[in-house]
Amino acid sequence: MSNNRIQIFDTTLRDGEQVPGCKLNSEQKVIIAERLDLLGVDVIEAGFPVSSPGDFKSVEAISKIVKNATVCGLTRAVENDIKVAAESLRKAKTARIHTGIGTSDLHIKHKFKSNKEAIIERAFKAVQYAKSFVEDVEFYAEDAGRTDNEYLARVCEAAIKAGATVLNIPDTTGYCLPSEYGAKIKYLKENVKGIEKAILSCHCHNDLGLATANSIEGVISGARQIECTINGIGERAGNTALEEVVMVLKQHPYLNLETNINTSMLYGTSQLVSESMGIYTQPNKAIVGANAFAHSSGIHQDGVIKNRETYEIINPADVGVTESAIVLTARSGRAALAYRAKNVGYELTKLQLDDVYSNFLSFADRKKEINDNDIHQIIETSNVYQ
Shortest approach of ligand KIV to residue 15 CB, angstroms?
5
Find the binding residues for ligand KIV in span 180-209 (CB under 6 A): 203, 205
Residue with smallest beta-carbon separation from ligand KIV: 170
Shortest approach of ligand KIV to residue 213 CB, angstroms?
17
The one of ligand KIV, Zn ion, none whose footprint includes residue 168, by CB under 5 to 8 A per kind, is ligand KIV
Shortest approach of ligand KIV to residue 376 CB, angstroms?
52
CA distance 212 to 31: 26
User: Which of 56, 124, 129, 140 contacts ligand KIV by CB under 6 A?
Assistant: 140
Q: Which is nearer to Zn ion, 15 or 55 (CB)?
A: 15
- Segment interacting with ligand KIV, rule: CB under 6 A, options 86-94, 164-172, 213-221, 265-273: 164-172
Find the binding residues for ligand KIV in span 205-264 (CB under 6 A): 205
Find the binding residues for Zn ion in span 2-41 (CB under 5 A): 15
Interface with ligand KIV (CB under 6 A), residue total 8
Give the E-state strand segments of the chain in sequence order: 7-10, 43-47, 70-74, 95-102, 136-142, 166-171, 199-204, 225-228, 294-295, 325-326
Cβ atoms of 11 and 228 closer than 8 Å? yes
Q: Which is nearer to ligand KIV, 122 or 203 (CB)?
A: 203
Four-point Cα dihedral 253, 265, 317, 376, nearest 10: -150
User: Which of 170, 238, 316, 320 contacts ligand KIV by CB under 6 A?
Assistant: 170
Q: Which is nearer to ligand KIV, 99 or 301 (CB)?
A: 99
Shortest approach of Zn ion to residue 303 CB, angstroms?
40
- Segment interacting with ligand KIV, rule: CB under 6 A, options 168-176, 290-298, 323-331, 370-378: 168-176
Q: Which is nearer to ligand KIV, 172 or 263 (CB)?
A: 172
CA distance 364 to 137: 59
CA distance 76 to 69: 23
List, as own/partner pairs, every contact residues 381-385 make where C-beta atoms lie below 8 angstroms and the sequence separation is at least 24, other chains included.
382/352, 382/355, 382/356, 383/355, 384/351, 384/352, 384/355, 384/356
- Phi (first) and psi of residue 238, to 5 degrees: 95, -175
**SS3 label, residue 47:** strand
Shortest approach of ligand KIV to residue 278 CB, angstroms?
22
Task: Please give the full DSSP string across 263-313, using - where no structure is assigned.
Answer: GGGHHHHHHHHHHHHT-PPPTT-TTTSTTTTEE-SHHHHHHHHH-GGGT-S
Shortest approach of ligand KIV to residue 98 CB, angstroms?
7
User: Which of 10, 42, 81, 142 contacts ligand KIV by CB under 6 A?
Assistant: 142
User: Does the footprint of ligand KIV cover residue 99 (CB under 6 A)?
Assistant: no
User: Which of 165, 172, 229, 382 contacts ligand KIV by CB under 6 A?
Assistant: 172
CA distance 343 to 356: 15
- The DSSP bridge pattern shows strands 7-10 and 43-47 to be parallel
User: Which of 103, 168, 215, 352 contacts ligand KIV by CB under 6 A?
Assistant: 168
Q: Which is nearer to ligand KIV, 47 or 320 (CB)?
A: 47
The one of ligand KIV, Zn ion, none whose footprint includes residue 142, by CB under 5 to 8 A per kind, is ligand KIV
CA distance 53 to 120: 30
CA distance 214 to 195: 21
Chain CA centroid to CA 376, Å:
41
The residue ranges that bind Zn ion (CB under 5 A) are 15
The residue ranges that bind ligand KIV (CB under 6 A) are 15, 140, 142, 168, 170, 172, 203, 205
